[in-house]
Amino acid sequence: MNILRRHYAEYLMEAAGLGIFMIAASVITLLLEHPASLIRQAISDPLLRRLIIGVTMGLTAIALIYSPWGQQSGAHFNPVVTFTFWRLGKIKPGDAWFYIVAQFIGGLAGLGLAVRVFKDAIAHPAVHYVVTTPGSGGAGVAFLAELIISFGMMLMVLVISNSLSRGRYTGLFAGGLIALYITLEAPLSGMSMNPARTLASAIPAQNWTAIWVYFTAPILGMVLAAEVYVRWKGPQAVRCAKLHHHNHKRCIFRCGYRVRGNGHQGSPLSDQLPLDLS
């Protein structure tokens, strides 16, 4: 358990990050969808409401990614992101395991806190614990939609984060995609990409409708994106598992960035010299 003692801070940051995201999702959905909300009464257009929710959640994701916690943990906040980087060889198995466990716990804790605070309001059918379930097209359409958006998100992360000139903007691109997906894709699948996020809502709602979609499609989509990227750029092109690496925080991953004297993550190492900063 030596790895747990050394890296527990990053695990707690991952748990807290997804927990905060779930609380934010609960609050903004209550404000925009609950019939008693004055905002809901003022905005009748569902597309406009989804746009506002999307922008809010996108900004939440950006804030978390660029926060001190996100800069240190790498800001995965999603078991599938962690699993994909493990498959790419950028995370040790022990770290990947604890990240995934922490993310599930964090999601459950965040939604649990929202349930405790908002009680009957979050249980209202218009909010329903912010569950992610298939839209009118059914599970097949939801599966395809989740696969596509997960593929798009991971491919973007790999392309942008591994660019020396654009890497620092990965969080902005991620937030933008989240906003776009919630606005346009949510009616098809509820827009999850994250089994920990879906499970956190499903448990209090006791709604297991097509939950298999949210545990399979994101994995297939992100792993496929990683395969496409590796075949396109080569495995050496994946430098690190952090979404934001241009900071002074420690990196516990199998990292391909040189550490300067001031602790800043600097230039990439050669392909034959992976750097493990654990």
Question: In this model, does residue 272 exceed pLDDT 60?
Answer: no
User: Is residue 154, in this structure, part of any structural domain at all?
Assistant: yes
Q: What is the pLDDT of residue 257?
A: 81
Q: How far apart are CA 214 and CA 225, in angstroms?
A: 17
| % of the chain surpassing 90 pLDDT | 88
259 within a domain of the structure (yes/no): no
* Predicted confidence (pLDDT) per residue in 191-205, tens digit: 999 999 999 999 999
Residue 269 belongs to a domain? no
pLDDT in tens, 160-182: 999 989 999 999 999 999 999 99
Better-predicted residue by pLDDT, 115 or 269: 115
A 10 A CB-CB count for 144 gives 16
Task: Please name the amino acid found at residue 268.
Answer: P
Picking from 62, 144, 13, the residue whose alpha carbon sits closest to that of residue 135 is: 144
- For residue range 203-216, list pLDDT tens digits in order: 999 999 999 999 99
Confidence of residue 258 (pLDDT cuts 50, 70, 90): low
pLDDT of residue 275: 37
Closest CA to 160 of 151, 152, 169: 169
> Percentage of residues in the chain with pLDDT exceeding 70?
92
What does the alpha-carbon distance between residue 71 and residue 13 come to, in Å, rounded to a whole number? 10
Work out how many domains the chain is built from and give that number: 1
In a domain, 271, yes or no: no
157 inside domain: yes
Q: Which residue has the tokens 């009464």?
A: 41
127-153 pLDDT, tens digit per residue, is: 999 999 999 999 999 999 999 999 999
How far is the C-alpha of 146 from the C-alpha of 222, rounded, in Å?
10
Q: Which CATH number do you get for residue 54?
A: 1.20.1080.10
**Average of pLDDT values for 108-136?**
97
* Domain region containing 186: 2-247
Tell whether the torsion through CA atoms of 146, 211, 229 and 165 is positive or negative. Answer: positive
Q: How confident is the model at residue 256 (pLDDT cuts 50, 70, 90)?
A: confident
Task: Quote the pLDDT of residue 263.
Answer: 42
In a domain, 160, yes or no: yes
Q: Model confidence over 219-255: pLDDT tens digits?
A: 999 999 999 999 999 999 999 999 998 888 999 999 9
Assess if residue 257 is contained within a domain.
Answer: no
Q: Mean pLDDT in the chain?
A: 93
Residues 17-39 have a mean pLDDT of 98
37 located within any domain: yes
